[in-house]
Structure 1
């Protein structure tokens, strides 16, 4: 599996284009906006976009979802149902933060713990990791030892929990019981900032280190 990180929106959110090398089919994870940048990655790599995947529904991660899905006539998968209130509030979120008007949508598939999502012939595991938002999920590719963790964990930090239905203790539990068991060698793409590994964060991240 191949990927390219595409920083989007004024919040410099790490949208990720994932694709299957064999089929050239792709998924876009967290298209918060700046869709022209995302389309350029798809075109440059000769990819066919087959779905949108969402970790959670904050504006910088989900703001461009409806527009991208409609343009390509593709399904939206994720997040978990408990983030529905954030999707319903996307128009208000876009006004609050000065983003282009974001459309509401209903995912074609709500995701749950233990689900799998496909990208071409590649498969990623879904883990429900609430705390930053109640319906936050992460995606894990076993073969690549790669996780896309949204705003659960960052290089040297963790997600905010002061938003509606955020909870600090729940977030810490998600990190320690869902992410750490995947293995210290797993590299992760956070929602913002540089990549890291779970092992490095267990050693040095002041919020969650062992």
Structure 2
């Protein structure tokens, strides 16, 4: 890729800046996501993608519920749309959510991964492949171990991994499985995660 002499646009992260945040949660996740999104505040300079395990038999109001707690724009992801800074995109029930290097979102109904769809592992792996060291992956409360393979992929590509502290998580399975991979950079109480994400995405790396 040819370097450009001019400074990057404010809305487009420089090559070494973080460019995307991906979050995974399951049991207890509505509360966990509410706290995270509320404390993130306004004007997030990157897109945020969420996999929350939902009942595939019912339509969901998760975006509306979370929007009441956050000033960010929150919506269910749509196939083929462009992920924009300051927007939060949630995987719809029964669909895997992936992202490409151009920031275009893809929804797929391919097979379950570790018995779940959407899969945090698939989201994290796509984020790792598309953004490498510019990706942040975060695992919140949840039962099971979805996300563990994915955080390993993010870390192996130079990205940064955050996990809710299993000792204080409502359900410790998912964050504990993530921590046990050895790929987690920050293990934090839920209430401290937003500040770390903000610090990472708003600080230019040397």
State the TM-score, normalized to the length of structure 1: 0.38
Q: Specify which structure has the bigger relative contact order, considering alpha-carbon pairs within 8 angstroms and separated by 6 or more residues.
A: 2
The structure that is strand-richer by fraction is 1
